[in-house]
Structure 1
Amino acid sequence: MSVVHLADQAPVVSPDELIAGLVPPLRFAQARFETYRPDPAEPSQSRAKEALTAFADRIAAPPRKKWFGRAEPEAGAVYLDGGFGVGKTHLLASTWHRVPGPKAYGTFVEYTHLVGALGFATTVQRLSGHKLLAVDEFELDDPGDTMLMTRLLGELADAGVSLAATSNTLPDKLGEGRFAAEDFKREIQALSSRFDTLRVDGPDFRHAGLAAAPAPVSDADVQLRAGSTPGASLDDFDAVTATLGRLHPSRYGRLVDGVSAVHLRGVRPLTDQAVALRWVVLIDRLYDRTVPVVASGAPLDQLFSPEMIAGGYRKKYLRATSRLLALAREAG
């Protein structure tokens, strides 16, 4: 059975395809307010669901213009404040699904990559006619990107686009750094007055009962499993790393579209920050598409060094490690 080699691919994504690809990931394609199950012990979850439902309905059916004067204000902007694993992404995706198009849904990183691929002015032009822009995992660890996104959201809000956002609050251990509303409002500064904060409390359900990370398999097992899995990819880790360096991150999703499972030989700890951040993006795209990962070499929880995890991009690396281990567990 033939396998795909990611290292041999050179995907091209047009501007129209980039815009059309701003939709919730496969994991949340069916997310709706009706399928969100608030914890009875956490009343903030029910309040957030009700508030977001009303928010989405205002966007879907805005107040009609008065006979005299200007139209009623637009629906505005909301920020979901809560810890890791309390259902913020489900609620954000539900909001997106409830609002008619045109609309966009993406992570903070996907929007910064969109600006990198299209340019700032073109991005504003392509998104300014949207009813809603949903931003998952708004990142606060890169001042330059934060300023870029603040400017982008400000221009889109001025154009009448409603905004909804969450931030990445993945903790190193349960209970640490759970809420980020004040950090969010401080970093976006002038834009903060546009946002209403909705608190979503609760324990991290994803930490309950998780199996240990699977041990690496042998190179021979990686090759055998790839050869017996229809639609699988098989690559050396270093070859994929080199390919990521040649591609704009906006193409990483297309690189793994249609791949049923990724098989990597010779995983090793990363020592270069730029390389590590590229792998963070690829892992996010794999997670979005629920693509299992089978690997040999170093254990996957050692992909990012302790020094990197202790640094300024700590939350990125912790989130990526959590997702990579989940994909490895799904591979069985």
Structure 2
Amino acid sequence: MSSSTAVPGQSPIAETAPQSLCALEPRVPADRLVAEMVPPPRFDSVRFETYEPDPDQPSQREAVEVLSSFAAGLGGAHATGTGRRRWFGKKTAAPTGPRGVYLDGGYGVGKTHLLASLWHATPADPSLKAFGTFVELTNLVGALGFQQTVQTLGGHRLLCIDEFELDDPGDTVLVSSLLSRLVEAGVALAATSNTLPGKLGEGRFAAADFLREIQGLSAHFRPLRIDGEDYRHRGLPEAPPPYSSDQVTKAAYATAGASLDDFPALLGHLARVHPSRYGALTDGITAVCLTDVEPVRDQSTALRLVVLADRLYDREVPVLASGLPFDRLFSDEMLNGGYRKKYFRAISRLTALARDAKGLVAQ
């Protein structure tokens, strides 16, 4: 029997209804969290050679050169008897400066591309390198416990942390303690963020009360500024306008492996699923179809949506939607508040995924 039914003038309609993300409540064992600390599918094949620096932004070319040297310097023995690594080839003395690099820049300048390229270029077994977002790192501590996380990551040569942000005092104390222990164990660090390390937490909580922890975090890194415009918008057309709910629904039924959800219902479901499981929530999903996209009303919901947008972008899952355009998801108050950089990143990434979804709609 045929797997689809042809309708004149329309795309074939799948016999089985699309999945609903709202019906999924994945469970993610701790060992999977550790095993998945590698660059996500979107960045699995990137390398320094595939990064295209903007000729008008010399800091982008400099970043490639600095990170290439940094990766080459991680090829020596993991650590000496004192727990300090021999960093650069023939040198035997441990450095006294920062033991990590911190890529600071706006949205879409290629920071994650460069971070993943560093992971790939570091001459070490993949089991001795870890790559994850800041959220995934804190989730790992929650799953394993602090001491077990130190033991698990302490034998690594490199820890790459994407989207480094401090959203609350608990994160500040936790991450400051964790990274200090890992540096003592000889682990090299690399991170990306839209915020300089000394400014982490600004606008989110009383950062001045945790100045010692923030300054301690900053001391681990050499900041590397990367200037430029969002490459996702460089020379590309404007984001496609939303489709009708009927178009989105038909596309969901015509696309094998697609999901179909009402946007407000999905936001409600995200509140019941821990953000550490948002990646697993999209396992096997080939496209996310959303109807009735509307403004996000509160900050907690908005931050959960940011995490989902990141996971969808990492996994290259196109997003087809009806309702409000993605650049109107967040209020002016949110876009001018302490989490504004997260919201702009989500808008940028959802816009890119909306472009990817254009081919799902029958013309």
TM-score, normalization by structure 1: 0.87
Q: Deviations over 1:7-49 (max 9, x none)?
A: 1112111111101111112221111122233445544333332
Q: Distance in 1 between matches of 2:192 and 2:171?
A: 16
SS in 2 for 1:138: coil
Check conservation: 1:300, 1:321, Cα contact below 8 A: yes
Deviation at 1:318, TM superposition (A): 1.2
Query: Residue 165 of structure 2 aligns to which amino acid in structure 1?
Result: E
Q: 1:217 to 1:189 in 2, by over 3 A?
A: same
Q: Which stretch shows the higher mean deviation, 298-307 or 74-83? A: 74-83
How many corresponding residue pairs? 320
Give the aligned partner of residue 41 of structure 2.
26
Q: 1:166 to 1:121 in 2, by over 3 A?
A: same
Query: Residue 94 of structure 1 aligns to which amino acid in structure 2?
Result: S
**Rg bigger for which structure?**
2
Give the aligned partner of residue 274 of structure 1.
300
Report the identity percentage.
Answer: 57
SS in 1 for 2:162: strand
Check conservation: 2:105, 2:194, Cα contact below 8 A: no
Pairing of 1:79-158 with structure 2 (within 5 A): 79-99=102-122, 100=124, 101=126, 102-140=128-166, 142-158=168-184
2:14 maps to 1:14:
no
Give the aligned partner of residue 89 of structure 2.
none
2:100 to 70, 77, 85: 77
Pairing of 1:1-332 with structure 2 (within 5 A): 1=14, 2=16, 3-62=18-77, 72=92, 73=94, 76-99=99-122, 100=124, 101=126, 102-140=128-166, 142-168=168-194, 180=196, 182-183=198-199, 188-332=214-358
Check conservation: 2:163, 2:194, Cα contact below 8 A: yes
Deviation at 1:118, TM superposition (A): 3.1
Q: Distance in 2 between matches of 1:288 and 1:258?
A: 14
Q: 1:50 to 1:6 in 2, by over 3 A?
A: same
Deviation at 1:284, TM superposition (A): 0.7
Q: Distance in 1 between matches of 2:347 and 2:72?
A: 36
TM-score, normalization by structure 2: 0.80
Q: Deviations over 1:46-102 (max 9, x none)?
A: 333222222212222238859xx9964279211223343333222211110122232
Cα root mean square deviation, aligned: 2.6
Check conservation: 2:104, 2:194, Cα contact below 8 A: no
Any stretches of 5+ residues in structure 1 without a counterpart? Answer: 170-179
Q: Deviations over 1:199-249 (max 9, x none)?
A: 334444333233223222222211100011111011122332222111111
Check conservation: 1:85, 1:206, Cα contact below 8 A: yes
Check conservation: 2:256, 2:286, Cα contact below 8 A: yes
Q: Distance in 2 between matches of 1:300 and 1:45?
A: 28
Q: Distance in 1 between matches of 2:35 and 2:230?
A: 32
Q: Distance in 1 between matches of 2:106 and 2:298?
A: 29
Check conservation: 1:266, 1:298, Cα contact below 8 A: yes
Q: Deviations over 1:174-200 (max 9, x none)?
A: xxxxxx365359773123333223333
Q: Which stretch shows the higher mean deviation, 137-146 or 234-243? A: 137-146
